[in-house]
Structure 1
């Protein structure tokens, strides 16, 4: 499917329907990330998406959002019982409120994690997945993303198992979604903030940054890796080599705005000028190559000490999907006040041929 047409159909479905919860938006965000990290070798290939993986990503989206905002718990559904948010809160309580991510929660409370994933899988199958492709007023879906004929409000776990606990994206959809992620994700975030404002009457123009609460990163959490990184790799900016200050930034090499990967393999020490200048830009390939070549044993030791996953394979997979989906010659950030055009005619191993 043509990526532009695909994007137009996705936005049309969302803009023309009354969203009674943010679940559709979360599901699409999770699909975007899954497609980036599992980019098919050929643009016209189908892609199977395990519902457990989709549930993990959806749970991760809500992980920080369920924290109180301005003294309130944000409603994200017009229904009296928000199943996914309840599951996220239960797992946070079981794993410790300071667990920085779902990955950490899975390590700390594996049984509670499995219970939460099971609940989210069933919720996704019974609610957003079989309504995501339906235009308002229509009693049937237009399955342009995946076959949803077996999904319905009362589907059981046994029926899901009969379908391999997965949905399968149609030919070209995975590649198209991965290529469109940079455009679709900001649009989804805008819709999400609008929905949350509509569902929470206390939110008005005078209320602090709700968008930052929903989609920003907790810098205080990232600060936990600062000193261990300085001891392991030296107190220098990953990008320019300058000596960093006492409270220097921690940067996501693959931008947080594109893929929300907090694993140690995607984090580096940065000086303030480089961090500010890079912002959400796509870095030059050599920076990704360098970060993936850092000593794995050292990172694993830090992961154990900090109870913080490295996610090396996930970073490599996301990098492959991002750069293979970019048009030739796109500008990338190559250092302070410097850019260069993307050239993967001689790709590093993580990109592939």
Structure 2
């Protein structure tokens, strides 16, 4: 087994591959972002371990990334590829057309057969395009794999071949831990590249259209409004962070930041006042805040989930928290409240830090 790759070298090689040559689609960027999210939520027990990554899981994460982006922007469908087929956006649009649901989580439950068809198409596209080409330099077939073994992948790989490899790729030693640790640096860089690519592929996006980044990666706050009333009924109309009384239109906050892990499950959402919501923004919350949010009555959350058809995603939130804090160096600053911070210390880890059985 090869030695585990150093995280700094890993980050340098990822950026070097992306900056070499002209990208003809945003699929490579989406694949890398999906890989990072998977690594965060499935952090190996030992940093040098390998990690098997399900291609259908990657497909779901890629679908989630494009779910917001395929909506028309100023009357236009944004191109995400210089080719004609645009396989991934087309598969995402097919699911959107099958249900009026604004949330992907709700759409999955409302149109499960269409969702599965979209996942199958996106997964095959990932195997034939970005996963096959991600580690290859432009202009040739030479490859020096440093993320995963791609020897069975090619531009015409079949579903049968993928099934023979368990519909998965296997990340090399140290890659999963390295990607999780570099998430805070790599994901903003990938978003910047993504915005640049979309501007290049859509000629109507001039410098006078500055909000394209918000359309691509911002959170649709309107969709979260459905959570506000049930949360107030269940937990009271008070800020989760400072306990101040809340007005009618208070924000809904992602405890684990949306910019780091895009999890909309009820287990990651809380009522917040505007002051705390603005002050926290993209900051990593203190461990005790995560402990509090994961310590809420899961029965209550499940009841709300059933009433509004919105998943709790408790296990996913716990896994993401485990990955985020398990890959951070001790002593970094974390947000603990308005204008307050504490140093990260998990010397006495909470139960959600334990590896899942």
- Return the TM-score normalized by structure 2: 0.97
How far the C-alpha of 1:222 sits from its partner, in A, is: 0.8
**2:245 counterpart residue number:** 243
Asked if residue 49 in structure 1 is aligned to residue 53 in structure 2, the reply is: yes
Asked if residue 109 in structure 1 is aligned to residue 124 in structure 2, the reply is: no
**1:190 counterpart residue number:** 192
Residues 304-324 of structure 1: CA distance to partner in whole angstroms, max 9, x if unpaired?
111111000000000000001
**1:227 counterpart residue number:** 229
Secondary structure of 2:16's counterpart equals helix
**2:84 counterpart residue number:** 80
**1:7 counterpart residue number:** 11
What is the alpha-carbon distance in structure 2 between the residues aligned to residue 106 and residue 219 of structure 1?
20
How far the C-alpha of 1:227 sits from its partner, in A, is: 1.1
What is the alpha-carbon distance in structure 2 between the residues aligned to residue 135 and residue 318 of structure 1?
32
How far the C-alpha of 1:208 sits from its partner, in A, is: 4.0
How far the C-alpha of 1:38 sits from its partner, in A, is: 0.1
What is the alpha-carbon distance in structure 2 between the residues aligned to residue 224 and residue 344 of structure 1?
34
- Return the TM-score normalized by structure 1: 0.98
Q: Select the residue among 94, 98, 117 that pairs with 2:98.
A: 94
**1:321 counterpart residue number:** 323
**1:37 counterpart residue number:** 41
Secondary structure of 1:64's counterpart equals helix
Residues 41-78 of structure 1: CA distance to partner in whole angstroms, max 9, x if unpaired?
00100000010101000000000000001111100000
What is the alpha-carbon distance in structure 2 between the residues aligned to residue 325 and residue 249 of structure 1?
29
How far the C-alpha of 1:285 sits from its partner, in A, is: 0.4
Residues 276-311 of structure 1: CA distance to partner in whole angstroms, max 9, x if unpaired?
000000000011000001111111111111111100
Q: Select the residue among 171, 174, 177 that pairs with 2:176.
A: 174
Further displaced range: 135-144 or 86-95: 135-144
**1:25 counterpart residue number:** 29
What is the alpha-carbon distance in structure 2 between the residues aligned to residue 110 and residue 330 of structure 1?
42
What is the alpha-carbon distance in structure 2 between the residues aligned to residue 93 and residue 117 of structure 1?
15
Residues 91-146 of structure 1: CA distance to partner in whole angstroms, max 9, x if unpaired?
111122x3312x22221111111111110111001100010001123322211000
What is the alpha-carbon distance in structure 1 between the residues aligned to residue 31 and residue 235 of structure 2?
37
User: What stretches of structure 1 move > 4 A for 4+ residues in a row?
Assistant: none
Gapped runs of 5+ residues in structure 2?
none
Asked if 1 retains the 8 angstrom alpha-carbon contact of 2:259 and 2:282, the reply is: yes
- Aligned CA RMSD, in angstroms, stands at 0.9
Gapped runs of 5+ residues in structure 1?
none
Secondary structure of 2:182's counterpart equals helix
**1:133 counterpart residue number:** 135
Provide the aligned length of Structure 1 versus Structure 2. 351
